[in-house]
Amino acid sequence: MSAEAPSRRIELTMHKPWFALYAGIRPTLVLAGRGQPTQWGLGTWQVPADETVTLGVFLFNRLWRFGQAEHTLAPDDLALEYRAPALPFLPGRIRPAPHSRAPHA
């Protein structure tokens, strides 16, 4: 058996608009090609510590995917924000968060 690769935790804050033309939709996070249902608000995710990782988010309403956004994490990224669109045919946005609540090493 091989030793596990070092990992780190990143923060991802999911923001939904205060007014949207859709209801009851939750985001899906895609890490390393695997989709994981998530919730709105702050969450932490484990990613490899020494590699770049592509992170994607989309919304799904039984008919189509929308609000898609993708970001490539650098090894020193700690926190990101996803902002969902107000209209179900627009893309979402992922950007580095202005601050992180994660402890710094």
> Which tens digit of pLDDT belongs to each residue from 6-41?
888 999 999 999 888 888 899 999 998 899 999 999
CA–CA separation, 75 and 52 (whole Å): 6
Token reading at 33: 């090609």
For residue 101, what pLDDT is reported? 59
The pLDDT of residue 2 is above 50: no
Classify 105 as helix, strand or coil: coil
pLDDT in tens, 85-95: 998 889 999 99
CA–CA separation, 11 and 81 (whole Å): 8
pTM exceeds cut of 0.85: no
